[in-house]
Amino acid sequence: MLENLVDNFMGVPALGPVLTVALGVAVAQGTGALEAAVRLIFTRVPRGFVPYVVAFVACQGHVMSDTRSPA
């Protein structure tokens, strides 16, 4: 198992996109871009759609938190 560690690590097809998304989300969160995007979304959504937008943003946050590496 240890002899082929690098080959096994590089052989995972979804590893590149997951690492890229995790890095992008971490940078966006660190710079405040995610908070600004959420504020922008909520200022432009009609009042009747607010519950649906909250549910959508919460689902996206849950999915993104699963791909983020622990600090």
Angle at 62 between CA 57 and CA 68, to 5 degrees: 120
In a domain, 13, yes or no: no
For residue 8, tell me if it sits in a domain: no
Kindly state whether residue 41 falls inside one of the protein's structural domains.
yes
**Has residue 58 been placed in a domain?**
yes
64 contacts: CB under 8 Å, gap ≥ 6: 21, 25
What's the total number of domains in the chain? 1
Which residues have CB under 8 Å from 68's CB, separation 6+? 22, 25, 26
Structure confidence at residue 26 (pLDDT): 86
In this prediction, residue 65 carries a pLDDT of 67
Provide the residue-wise pLDDT of the chain in tens; the chain has 71 residues.
678 877 877 777 777 777 787 888 889 889 999 889 888 888 898 989 989 988 988 888 777 666 555 54
Token readout for 38 is 């959420």
Q: In this predicted structure, what is the pLDDT of residue 36? A: 92
Q: What pLDDT, on the 0 to 100 scale, is given for residue 69?
A: 53
Q: Taking a C-beta distance cutoff of 8 angstroms, is the pair 41, 53 a contact? A: yes
What is the pLDDT at residue 48? 92
Domain that holds residue 57: 35-71
**46 falls within a domain:** yes
